[in-house]
Structure 1
Amino acid sequence: MPAMTTGKKTERYTTEFKVKAVEWSHQAHRSVKSVAEALDIHPMMLSRWRKEHREGKFGMKRVKRAPAEAKKKISEQDEIARLKRQVSELQEENDILKKFQRFQAEERRKRTDSSGNTDESTA
């Protein structure tokens, strides 16, 4: 009886590709999820490659070039993350300035209320 085929194609990746993906995922400012999304692979696959790399299953030299499209996606993701951090910092600064402005307004009101109403206390 012949073996059954499901028609499902399994993607094969080169060892160089796997090693480069693992190297990217080890960089401090990149997460496994963002690298996996940029390379269009599942994060669990990248995690498995990282484990295999730790165990020494990828005994090979380093690759110097990465796919241009993947580099562009990762670069865009890094820029988006940087801008999100900047927006968050600016929002926090803006909130602090608003609170300080409210504080100053309350202090001015307290000073004008306490200094201008001496006639009511004598009546």
Structure 2
Amino acid sequence: MGSTRRRFTDEYKAEAVAFVIDGDRSIAQVARNIGVHEMTLGKWVKKERERRSDAVPADAPVTESERAELIRLRAEVKDQSAEISELRMQMEFAKKVATWFAKEKQ
């Protein structure tokens, strides 16, 4: 016996996607709660996010939540850049120490 494929209305899909996007819930959590496979819900969410991003003009003003996220991401990049610089300095120092030890052994 073959399996029957479930069909979902557009309204059902929109509600499920809203739980994820607007409700700040994970795809896995919502999928478990509504009895839909994670991959299926993930495709619905991806499609809606693409639709929403296409609907916003490139020169649209930044919302408050986007501004807050931008500030957070810039701070994160700054911290990571500082960490990378520190690691590079440590690496250069380690190279110099290794070179010095190699010369000492000769």
Shorter-normalised TM-score: what interval? 0.3 to 0.5
More RCO (CA 8 Å, sep 6+): 1
Bigger Rg, structure 1 or 2: 1
TM (normalized to structure 2)? 0.46
TM (normalized to structure 1)? 0.41
